[in-house]
Amino acid sequence: MAQKAVELILMRQLASCLAVPVFLVDPEGTLLYYNEPAERLLGRRYDETGEMPASEWGTMFTPTAEDGSPLPADELALSVALRKWHPAHRGLIIRSLDGVTRRLAVTAFPLEGQGGRRLGAVAIFWEERPS
C-alpha cells in the first residue's frame, strides 16, 4: 500500500467522526475512503468495497441526472472538483448497492496541501427528501 499524504490521513480521520456522508479520493480519483453515514446511502460498507479507481466508483451507483438521463462519470461533482480544481455542486439520482434509488445533493471540493500540492478531493452529500 502506497504511503498517503498526512493531510489525506487526517481528512479520513475527520470524515470518520462526522455525521454527514463523506467520500474521499486521491488526485487520480481513486476512492480512498467513505464514512459510515455514506455507507448507509451507498448501500455497502467501505470495508466491503475498499479502494477503487474512479472508472469503477463513477458508474457503480448508476448515476443519473435529475431528469433521469444517464450522468457520465466526468460530470459528477467530485470529478469536476478534481478536473477543474474548484468546488462543484450537483443534484443526482443513484441506485445504491442495496438496490434503493436515492436523490442526492453533492458538494465536492479539491484538497490542496502546502506549496500547492494537489492531494485529491472530498465530496459531502446528503439525501434530498420531498418536501
R_g over Cα of the chain: 14
Q: Is residue 1 part of a domain?
A: no
Question: Cell numbers of 43, please?
Answer: 448501500
Q: Is residue 14 part of a domain?
A: yes
Tally of domains within the chain: 1
Looking up residue 47, the CATH number of its domain turns out to be 3.30.450.20
Let me know: does 103 contact 91? Beta carbons within 8 Å.
Answer: yes
Q: Is residue 95 part of a domain?
A: yes
Question: Could you read off the pLDDT of 8-54 as tens digits, one per residue?
Answer: 999 999 999 999 999 999 999 999 999 999 999 999 999 999 999 99
Q: Which pLDDT belongs to residue 2?
A: 64
Residue 65 sits in which domain range? 6-127
Q: Could you tell me how many residues make up the chain?
A: 131
Backbone angles phi, psi at 28, to 5 degrees: -85, -5
Q: How many other CB atoms sit within 10 Å of the CB of residue 46? A: 18
